[in-house]
Amino acid sequence: MQNILEKINENIQMVYRKAIDADAALDKLQQSGKGKFTVIFSEETDFITRNKRFGPYVDELALDFSKLETEQDGLENEIIIIVKKLQLLLITIGKLKVAL
């Protein structure tokens, strides 16, 4: 289990760095009059956060992970949700990078 938690933590750190770059790209788009959207992920996702930048989503993911580290029971469902959120972030940031 510890190995899984370490890998998740590594991936959260990676997505954090990617989110900083993606948010900077979104800032440039918005300054040029593009990128007129209100949220990145819709309500159909596992995210509670609703924001037009990636940073707050990564913050939510990190908070979920920190709660996971303090709990001992019922981790499987929580891990699944965290991995789904992580995957969604990485895919979406990757698509943004390709589109730019």
Residue 33 pLDDT greater than 90, yes or no: no
pLDDT at 72 over 70: no
Mean pLDDT of the chain: 90
| pTM (2 d.p.) | 0.88
Give whole-number Cα distances, 60 to 32, 34, 55, 66, in Å: 29, 26, 9, 10
Mean pLDDT of 69-87: 85
Give the residue numbers spanning the domain of 68.
Answer: 2-99
Q: How many domains does the chain have?
A: 1
What's the N-to-C CA distance of the chain in angstroms?
38
Q: What's the rounded Cα separation, in Å, for the pair 85 and 61?
A: 7
Q: Which residues does 43 contact at the CB level (< 8 Å), separation at least 6?
A: 50
| Percentage of the chain modeled with pLDDT above 90 | 66
Written as one letter, the residue type at 7 is: K
Alpha helices in 32-73 (DSSP H): 55-70
Q: Give the C-alpha separation, 23 to 1, whole Å.
A: 32
Q: What confidence tier does 70 reach under pLDDT thresholds 50, 70, 90?
A: confident
pLDDT-based confidence at 4, cuts 50/70/90? confident
